[in-house]
């Protein structure tokens, strides 16, 4: 009777986590190299990685607006020639396309008339000065000629400023001008064709130029997780295009206002993209990491077999050989669990198909 009571107390202590986990492994399963069961398994090595502060959040990759320019036409006209294609690298000030525009022609004509009027008033002022020095002309007439010259110079400056605002690169005599790149970068999008009639109020820009080596990752953060993030905190980014590969970033800003409908706040992360593998508008899973960095062992929850209060995983001890091993969890999140005991870094764990192996083990 005494032995039975001792065994019961030990079992209760194990269930409550009052005693350290004892090494335990169930029977091993062996499969031939061509066994059909192996095709249903997915096996991953357990690796140490920074512990997430929250569960992975849905987000998307976006342009870095600090390094992006959306180019539109400042005046109405017709596109006569296009010099760039999507994917081309351009320099600041490089011509992108040429426009034929009545507004541009009018601005050129206004400037020429202003220049001609200034020349005329300048000659009139010079004659008035000579006549004044010869005491042939009254001083008030000379002062009037000087005032006329200043007015003509002001009108010329106004006409030149207007022309520069609608055609910074200058314009031809026929009213055609080049639309130039405001920044250096890559032509990411082009919504213009030769012959297209353009207006300043068009809903979409004609061209998008960006430096795609710098991007943003945008998160809609739930209100309950707001206290777990801060500016400068590192994040890990995963996209479907590169399974199992993570990209690094840092939180650059946290929004000031919560969306009253979704109860979420937008968090913007800065992402370095030197190889241009990430593309704007990709969907992403973004995980803010806990600080200070503390490497932990993590497995996806699909790898766990739960029996009562105990958790198990299947570890590949050799090719085609699997053992059922008891583990102790430190914390369990929505998609993954942090391992406290029972696994070592580098061991290969079945992350998909563990239920199949468990059904084989209990036969």
What digits encode the pLDDT tens for the residues 146-188? 898 899 889 989 888 887 777 766 666 566 778 889 999 999 9
User: What's the CA angle centered on 196, arms 193 and 202, to 5 degrees?
Assistant: 105
Range of the domain at 112: 102-174
CATH code assigned at 220: 2.40.30.170
User: Are 263 and 325 in the same domain?
Assistant: no
Evaluate if pTM is beyond 0.75: no
Residues with Cβ within 8 Å of 328's Cβ and at least 6 positions away in sequence, in order, are: 17, 21, 311, 339, 340, 341, 342
Q: What 8-state DSSP symbol labels residue 203? A: S
Last residue of a domain, one of 240, 259, 288: 288
Alpha-carbon dihedral angle through residues 200, 98, 164, 151, given to the nearest 10 degrees: -100
What digits encode the pLDDT tens for the residues 300-315? 888 999 888 889 999 9
CATH code assigned at 167: 1.10.287.470
User: Are 266 and 221 in the same domain?
Assistant: yes
Domains of the chain: total: 3
User: Are 264 and 301 in the same domain?
Assistant: no
Q: Is residue 186 part of a domain?
A: no
Q: Classify residue 34 by burial, with Cβ atoms within 10 Å: 0-12, 13-18, 19+.
A: exposed
Tens digit of each residue's pLDDT, the chain (363 residues): 444 444 454 444 444 444 443 334 456 888 888 888 888 899 988 888 887 878 889 999 999 999 999 999 888 888 988 999 999 999 998 999 988 877 777 777 788 888 898 999 998 888 888 888 887 888 888 888 889 889 988 998 988 888 777 776 666 656 677 888 999 999 999 999 999 998 888 889 999 999 999 999 999 999 998 988 999 999 999 999 998 788 999 999 999 999 999 999 999 999 999 999 999 999 999 999 887 777 888 888 889 998 888 899 999 988 889 999 999 988 787 778 888 888 988 899 999 988 888 887 766
């Amino acid at each position: 009777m005494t032995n039975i009571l001792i065994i019961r107390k030990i079992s209760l202590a194990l269930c409550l986590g009052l005693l350290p986990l004892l090494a335990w492994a169930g029977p091993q399963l062996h499969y031939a190299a061509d066994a059909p069961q192996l095709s249903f398994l997915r096996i991953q090595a357990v690796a140490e990685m920074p512990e997430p502060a929250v569960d992975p959040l849905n987000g998307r990759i976006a342009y870095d607006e600090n390094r992006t320019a959306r180019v539109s036409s400042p005046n109405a006209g017709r596109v006569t020639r296009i010099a760039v294609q999507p994917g081309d690298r351009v320099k600041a000030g490089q011509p992108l396309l040429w426009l034929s525009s009545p507004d541009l022609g009018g601005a050129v004509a206004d400037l020429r008339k202003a220049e001609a009027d200034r020349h005329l008033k300048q000659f009139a002022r010079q004659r008035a000065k000579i006549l004044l020095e010869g005491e042939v002309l009254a001083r008030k007439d000379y002062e009037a000629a000087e005032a006329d010259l200043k007015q003509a110079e002001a009108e010329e400056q106004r006409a030149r400023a207007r022309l520069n605002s609608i055609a910074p690169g200058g314009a031809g005599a026929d009213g055609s001008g080049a639309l130039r790149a405001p920044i250096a970068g890559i032509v990411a999008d082009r919504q213009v064709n030769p012959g297209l009639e353009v207006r300043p109020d068009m809903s979409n820009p004609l061209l998008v130029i960006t430096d795609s080596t710098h991007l943003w990752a945008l998160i809609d953060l739930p209100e309950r997780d707001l206290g777990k993030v801060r500016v400068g905190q590192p994040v890990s980014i995963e996209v479907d295009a590169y399974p199992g590969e993570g990209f690094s970033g840092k939180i650059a800003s946290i929004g000031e206002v919560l969306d009253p409908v979704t109860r979420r706040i937008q968090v913007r992360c800065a992402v370095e993209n030197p190889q241009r593998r990430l593309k704007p508008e990709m969907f992403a899973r973004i995980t803010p990491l806990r600080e200070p960095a503390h490497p932990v062992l993590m497995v996806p929850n699909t790898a766990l077999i739960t029996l009562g209060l105990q958790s198990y995983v299947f570890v590949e001890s050799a090719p085609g050989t699997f053992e059922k091993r008891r583990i102790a969890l430190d914390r369990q999140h929505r998609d993954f669990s942090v391992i406290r005991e029972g696994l070592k870094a580098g061991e290969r764990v079945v992350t998909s198909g563990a239920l199949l192996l468990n059904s084989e083990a209990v036969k």
